[in-house]
A and B are shown apart, each in its own frame.
Chain A
Amino acid sequence: MIDLKKIDGFNLARRGRSEKYFRLVGLGSIIISISFLLWLLITIVLGSTGAFRHVQILIQVDLTSEEIDQKNIQSTNFGSIIKSGLRRQFPDVTKRKDKKKLYALVSPEGSFELRRKVLKNPEIVGSITSVWVSASDDLSLYIRGKMDVNLPEDQRIVKNKELSWIKDLEKKEQIRIVTNWGFFKNGDSREPEIAGILAALVGSAWSLLVCFILSFPVGVGAAIFLEQFAPKNRLYDLIEVNINNLAAVPSIVFGLLGLSIFLGYFDLPRSSPLVGGMVLSLMTLPTIIIASRASLQSVPASIKEAALALGATPVQAVFHHVFPNALPGMMTGTIIGMARALGDTAPLLMIGMVAFIVDVPKSILEPATALPVQVFLWADSPERAFSEKTSAAIIVLLFFLIIMNLFAVLLRKKLERRF
C-alpha cells in the first residue's frame, strides 16, 4: 500500500544529501562575500588610526636676536632659529652630515608653524621660549610605533645616532602625540605628516553642488515628461533606450566627453569643480531619471484623475498633485545618485583633477581636487606615511557615503505614505 518512509525507489537519501550541500553552498557564498567586506573594512580602519595622531617636538627657540626685525617679522628666517635651537640642545653634533640629520627631525613645515605662532602672538618676540612644532614624517612613524626597529642599522631608516637623540628628547618629555586636527584643516602637502583633506572636501562639495543643480531639475523634468506627457511613439522608445544605455556606460567615457567638449571645445577651466560637476551630472542624470520614473509610476492615477475632474489643466494636475507625491522617491534616488557621484574617480581624472592642489578652492572655477581623487593620489605616493593618510581619507569618504545613504533611507521611511 502506501509506505511513507520508503527510502529506496525514490533515491531519498541521496537527494536529501544533495539538498544539504546545495543549501550549504548558498550560505557559504554569502559568508564569503560578507567576510571579504569585513576584511576590507577592518584593514582600512586599522590602517587609518595612525593618521589621526600627530607627533610634535618641543624646541627651545631664541627670539631675542636683533636679526628679528620687529617691523618685518614675515621675512625672518624661522628655519635657522629652529636649527639653532636644536644645535643648542645637542651641542656635540658638529659634523655637517650629522647636523643635517638632526635638523631632519623637525618637519620642513616647522618653520612656517613657528612663523604663524609668532605672528599670532607677537609678544613672544624678544624672549627665549619653547614651542611645539611638527615632527618629520619619519620621526612621526617611529614614535607611533610604525617602524621596524629590529632591523640591522644599515637597513633601518632611523639610525643609531638619531635614536640616541630621540631617546634624549623623549626623556626630557620634548616629544608628544596629539590629535591630528590638521588632517581636517589642511590641504594636501608633500609632507605626509601635515597633509590634510580640506581642499579635497571642499572640491568635492562644490562639484556635487554643481552636479545636483544641473542633474536634479533636468532629471526630474525628463522623468515627468516621459511618464505624464510623452506620446508613446518611436521617439519615446529611442529616448528610453538611450537612457538605459547611458546608465550602463563606463564612467570614464563621460570623462572623455568632458575633456574633449567641456575643456577642449568650450575651453572651460581645467580641473575646476564646474567641469567636474558637469561631468558628474551627465553620469547621474540617467540614474535620477530612472528612479524618478519609478517614483512617478507608484503614484496612483486616481489622484491625477481627481484633479483633472476638478478642472485643472494637465500641467497643474501633475505639478500640484502627482509630483509632490512622487518627490520623496525622487529625492531618495537623487541622493543615492549623488552618493555614487561622490565616490567616482575616473571621470574627474580625465578632466584634470589629478594635479597637486594645496589651496582650498574659493569658487567653482578654480582648480580643485576631490575626495576620491585625493585617495588615489595618496595611494600612489611612495612614502609610507601616506598609506595611513589614504586609509584615513577612505574612512572620511565612507563616512559621508554612509550619511548620505542613511539620509536617503530615513527620508524614504519618513515620507512614505500609503495610498
Chain B
Amino acid sequence: MGRTIISAKNVEVYYSEKQALKQVNLDIYEQQVTSLIGPSGCGKSTFLRCINRMNDLIKSCKFKGELTIGGQNIYDPKVNVVSLRTQVGMVFQKPNPFPKSIRDNVAYGLKIHGLAGSKSELNDRIEWSLKSAGLWSEVESRLGEPALGLSGGQQQRLCIARAIAVKPKIILMDEPCSALDPIATAVIEDLINEISEKFTIVIVTHSMAQAARVSKRTAYFHLGALIEVGNTKSIFTNPLDERTQNYITGRIG
C-alpha cells in the first residue's frame, strides 16, 4: 500500500440534468497502476476526465464534491489548469498524434512549457521519452517524418511518449488499447508495466483481462457509482459486492 496521491470525496458529475457520477469516494495510491472497470456508460471515463479537468471543455458538464491531488483541491478557483495538466498527463482511446513530424509531436509539450533550454537538451528529452515509450529503436532514423505515417500501435506509443516527455507525476489512460490489435495491445501493456514504477497510472479499461494483467488495484463502477475497490487479485477472485461478482462472471456488462 502506498501513499494516497489522488483523493476523491463525494464527487458528483452532471451533464445538464443527467447525473453521470454519484457520490464517488476513491483514493488512488502513487506509483502504481490502478484500473477502473465497469460496463459501458458506468461513468469511469467521466471520473478519469475529472482528474485532469478535461471535463471543463464540455460546456454542459458540472462538477460537485472534492478532488484533491497531493493534498490540493484541483477545483479550487486559484488553481491554474495549465499547471495541473502538465503534471497529470493523458492518453486517449484513439491515438491522436498531431499532424506534425514525430519529433515535433514529442517536443510539443516541452516547447509550450519551456521545459528544455537548449536544442541538445530538447533532443535528449525527446530521445528519453521515445525510449521510455519503447518506440525509439523504431523511429530514431526518421524523426522528421509525419507521425501519421506510423501504424496504430506505434501512434499510441508516440502519444504515450508525448505525454511522458513533460514528466508528469500521474498518467491517465482512457482505454488506450481499444483501437489496437492484440499484438500492439501486448506491447503497450508491457510498456505500462515497465513505467509503472516511475509514474502513477490510472487506466480505464473495458477488458477485465487487461485489468488483471496490468493493475495492482482495481475499482469497479456501476451506473455512475463506485461499487467496490481493492487489490486486483481479490476483486477478481473474491469480490465483496454482488454487482461486482455479476460483472466479473459475465452475467452483466
Residues on A facing B (Cβ under 8 Å) = 1-6, 9-12, 15-16
Contacts and interface: CB of A to CB of B under 8 A. Distances in A.
Given A5-B79, A10-B114, A15-B82, 18 more contacts: A1-B70, A2-B69, A2-B72, A3-B72, A3-B83, A4-B69, A4-B70, A4-B74, A4-B79, A4-B80, A4-B87, A6-B83, A9-B114, A9-B115, A10-B86, A10-B115, A12-B80, A12-B82
Given A10-B83, A10-B86, A12-B83, A5 B113 contact: no
Task: Point out which of B5, B72, B78 has the most chain A C-beta atoms below 10 A from its C-beta.
Answer: B72
Contacts of A6: 83
B169 interface: yes
Contacts, number: 42
Interface in B1-30: 5
Nearest to B80: A12
Contacts of B82: 10, 12, 15
A207 to B, nearest CB: 48
B9 to A, nearest CB: 17
Point out which of B79, B80, B113, B169 has the most chain A C-beta atoms below 10 A from its C-beta.
B80
Given A10-B86, A10-B113, A10-B114, A5 B80 contact: yes
Which 3 residue pairs spanning A and B have beta carbons closest together? A2-B70, A1-B70, A10-B113
Nearest to A8: B114
A5 B114 contact: no
29 contacts: A1-B169, A2-B69, A2-B70, A2-B72, A2-B87, A2-B169, A3-B70, A3-B83, A4-B69, A4-B70, A4-B72, A4-B79, A4-B83, A4-B84, A5-B78, A5-B79, A5-B83, A6-B83, A9-B113, A9-B115, A10-B82, A10-B83, A10-B86, A10-B114, A10-B115, A12-B80, A12-B82, A12-B83, A15-B112
Interface string B55-85: 0000000000000011010100011101110
B170 to A, nearest CB: 8
Interface in B35-58: none
Contacts of B72: 2-4
Interface residues of B, number: 18
Nearest to B70: A2
A29 B78 CA distance: 31
Contacts of A15: 82, 112
Contacts of B69: 2, 4
B113 A11 contact: yes
Contacts of B79: 4-5
Interface in B80-128: 80, 82-84, 86-87, 112-115
A5 B81 CA distance: 9
Contacts of B5: 2
Contacts of B113: 9-11
A22 to B, nearest CB: 14
A4 B69 CA distance: 9
Contacts of A4: 69-70, 72, 74, 79-80, 83-84, 87
Nearest to A15: B82
A15 to B, nearest CB: 7
Interface in B182-214: none
A4 B84 CA distance: 6
A297 to B, nearest CB: 27
A300 to B, nearest CB: 28
A243 B69 CA distance: 59
Contacts of B87: 2, 4
Contacts of B74: 4
Nearest to B87: A2
A15 B113 CA distance: 9
A1 B3 CA distance: 12
Nearest to B73: A4
A332 B115 CA distance: 54
A376 to B, nearest CB: 48
Nearest to A13: B80
A264 B216 CA distance: 87
Nearest to B74: A4
Contacts of A16: 80
A2 B69 CA distance: 7
Given A2-B72, A4-B74, A11 B83 contact: no
A3 B115 CA distance: 16
A14 B78 CA distance: 17
B172 to A, nearest CB: 14
Contacts of A5: 78-80, 83
A11 B114 contact: yes
A5 B113 CA distance: 14
A3 B83 CA distance: 8
A10 B74 CA distance: 17
A363 to B, nearest CB: 59
Contacts of A1: 70, 169
Nearest to B30: A1
Nearest to A14: B114
B206 to A, nearest CB: 29
A9 B166 CA distance: 12
Contacts of A9: 113-115
